[in-house]
Amino acid sequence: MSGHEHEHPTAPMNRRVGILERALVSRGVISGEQVDGILELFGREMGARNGARYVARAWVDSEFRQLLLTEAPAVLREFGHDLRGTSNPELARLRLVVVENTAVTHNLVVCTLCSCYPVPLLGPPPGWYRSNEYRARAVREPRAVLAEFGLPLDDSVRIQVWDSTADSRYLVLPMRPAGTDHLTEDQLSELVTPQSLVGAGIPLCPQ
């Protein structure tokens, strides 16, 4: 698991936003639930829709899947999400690593320093991802954390925790749900949840 060598360039701003959010909540101007609701909406309708699109295509196209796992930054640049400087000039060194969940390995993403997150692909990080509790416990007891998210894993499944750094982001390629062979790529993308893209959940089951 990688450690932090440099502070993320936007970390001071993240801290100021966090202080402002806590002040507004403590004064009753807004509620924590309202903040989480806005973040969830933004993530579902904007950022996470992008990540879901890549996952769905990887599920139906084995060649694309291999490229995503081995050359994710190049794939994203081709499809309009340049994480190395064009669309995010303040993060010129940023790279994306895609890790794949399998029947024997489950990946979980955390940022132990602040809340580093692939925003163009997932939207803003939700409150639980930014919380001190998640950032500490995801590393120390990931199996228990996943169980609390409603994802109990058998002891035979190895859990790999990935710590986002100042210059790296991680995206989880979840396993394709069973019984989806008849679904189109667009329909598959609707099954991909923001939580499944960081390993804190799994895709929805088809109705």
Which residues are marked as active site? 111, 114-116
Chain position carrying tokens 């190895």: 158
List the Cα angle 78/81/85 in 5-degree steps: 105
Q: Are 54 and 121 in contact (CB under 8 A)?
A: yes
CA 132 to chain centre: 17
- Alpha carbon of 175 to those of 30, 57, 91, 102, 180: distances in Å? 37, 13, 30, 6, 11
Q: How far apart are the C-alpha atoms of 98 and 112, rounded to whole Å? A: 19
